[in-house]
A and B are shown apart, each in its own frame.
Chain A
Amino acid sequence: MSIDRDQDLLEPGTASTGINLPPPLTETRTVATTVLTEDIGYIRKRARNLHKETGELHQQSHYTEWNARTNQRGQATTQDMLEELADLGFAWRDLAKLVGVSVPAIQKWRRGEGATGENRQKVASLLAACDLVAEHYGIQEITSWFETPMQLGVPVTPIALWASGRPDLVFDFASGHTESEQILTAWDPQWRDRYRSDFEVFRAGDGHLSIRQKER
């Protein structure tokens, strides 16, 4: 342990030989830096393990809270929950994607037609996630946050993460504890290649968006 090592460093040469001359300065420094490197390496390892453990714990707490909030939200009708999501600014097609159904299905529920218990639960869980993210991480424009690409030039949004069944990554991204690149890699290890393009979008002379080849 580092405390023992520190003790050794504080009392160099007192243990055995009786030779009064201290060890050469350079040797002492070498020993000290070696021990320091080992100590820091040890601390880093502990920090890494701690980071992993707290990350998992944080994820568990997100899930527990999310479930509790979902049960609370699920007391409302599907129609009312959809209205609330629409008032937050979500597009119907995005809601369809997030819940995993078609746009016409969402529109039917919106008009009051019944949804299955499972789908109602999905709508409630989305509202609950919005509550959680907004409350813990101070995200004011929750819909805008959900539909904004996580990284410039990469069209992956929290909506895409959620729709692919990775709410854990959505919560992690919201928390700011993990870099967006790491989250994208966890979601799709091929994302860099997948979204690399030789083309870019620009505003053409007629004022409309167009596509052109990037400058090399």
Chain B
Amino acid sequence: MAHDLEYPGADGVPDWDSLYRARGDEVVRHRPVFTGDVFEKVPVQGLEETKTKTVIVLQHPCALRSNGVDLHSRLMVAEVRDHRVIPLESWTGHVSKMPLPDLIPAVETRRRHQAAFFDAPYLVRPEDLALDKRISCLSQTGVNILLQRWVHHNSRVVVTTATYHEMSSPVYEEADLIEEWCEERVRVAGLEIQEAAIEATKWLREDIDSGFTRQRMLEDSQQRSTVRRQMRAALRQLG
């Protein structure tokens, strides 16, 4: 079986919802900025003067941060605009886009369905990605499909989403854990999100055995549940 660009769903049946982890009101501020996040009203730097656009974060999770917490000083994004729904059979085409059907499910107008345009890339400053302007976070399926299409757009190489899944699972898991840690610490201890994120990252990177860290444990699917249990215990202890 030759592999081609994949779609969300199975056996010819679309599952647009599977692209998203959260949309609209579901998006929480505690989640760290991640590949595939969509922000609106972002000042972007391109060839022309600075404009304000809706954008999607393109960079791989490992290329987003310099020290695990702070975002790099410039991040690559792509413009997101209204676009009709691209039917499943056409997901192998439209190679310069990441379709985002049902991105805004609360509206029935043409705004409901959008797409990210890889041929409209921009740079943004991290401080311009305001968390209250984030309107969507992709699911892991969504991130894998985005990476597959973005890499194909740039290199004409198709890598299966299963391979991206294997590579990006640990960092996606890490984002999940930081989100949970931040939510708990902000709610219970009144920390700022950034303070809680630093605390969570420190805990994940703590040397627990001859240089071995919980962050490294997340690379092994058999050990992830252990890290989650340890994290819940650590949060209870912190009170």
Report A's interface with B, CB cutoff 8 A. 86-93, 102-104, 141, 143-144, 147-149, 155, 157, 190, 193-197, 199-201, 208-211
Contact = CB atoms under 8 A, between A and B. Distances in A.
Given A103-B21, A190-B1, A209-B219, A147 B167 contact: no
20 contacts: A89-B224, A89-B225, A103-B139, A149-B221, A155-B162, A155-B165, A190-B1, A193-B1, A194-B162, A195-B162, A197-B3, A197-B159, A197-B160, A197-B162, A197-B163, A199-B160, A199-B163, A201-B167, A210-B167, A211-B163
Contacts of B170: 209
A27 B203 CA distance: 80
B159 A199 contact: yes
A89 B229 contact: yes
A144 B22 contact: no
Interface in B187-237: 219, 221-226, 228-229, 232
Contacts, number: 85
Contacts of B167: 201, 209-211
A201 B140 contact: no
A206 to B, nearest CB: 8
B225 A143 contact: yes
Interface string B170-181: 100100100010
B128 interface: no
B70 interface: no
A194 B1 contact: yes
Contacts of A201: 163, 166-167
Instruction: Identify the 8 closest CB pairs spanning chains A and B, nearest first.
Output: A89-B225, A193-B1, A143-B225, A104-B26, A89-B229, A208-B62, A89-B228, A201-B166
Interface string B129-155: 000000000011000000000000000
Contacts of A143: 225, 228
Contact of A91 (B1, B26, B165, B173): B173
B17 interface: yes
Q: Which of B176, B224, B225 has its CB near the most chain A CB atoms (within 10 A)? A: B225
A93 B224 contact: no
A104 B225 contact: no
B224 to A, nearest CB: 7
B8 to A, nearest CB: 14
Nearest to B139: A93
A141 B225 contact: yes
A91 B160 contact: no
Given A197-B159, A197-B163, 12 more contacts: A86-B232, A93-B139, A102-B21, A102-B22, A103-B26, A144-B222, A148-B221, A149-B221, A155-B166, A197-B3, A199-B160, A200-B163
A144 B225 contact: yes
Nearest to A155: B162
Contacts of A92: 176, 180
A102 B26 contact: yes
A93 B228 CA distance: 12
Contacts of A196: 1
B225 A90 contact: yes
Given A104-B22, A197-B163, A144 B229 contact: no
A103 B165 CA distance: 18
A103 B232 CA distance: 18
A203 B94 CA distance: 32
Contacts of B225: 88-90, 141, 143-144, 147
A214 B140 CA distance: 24
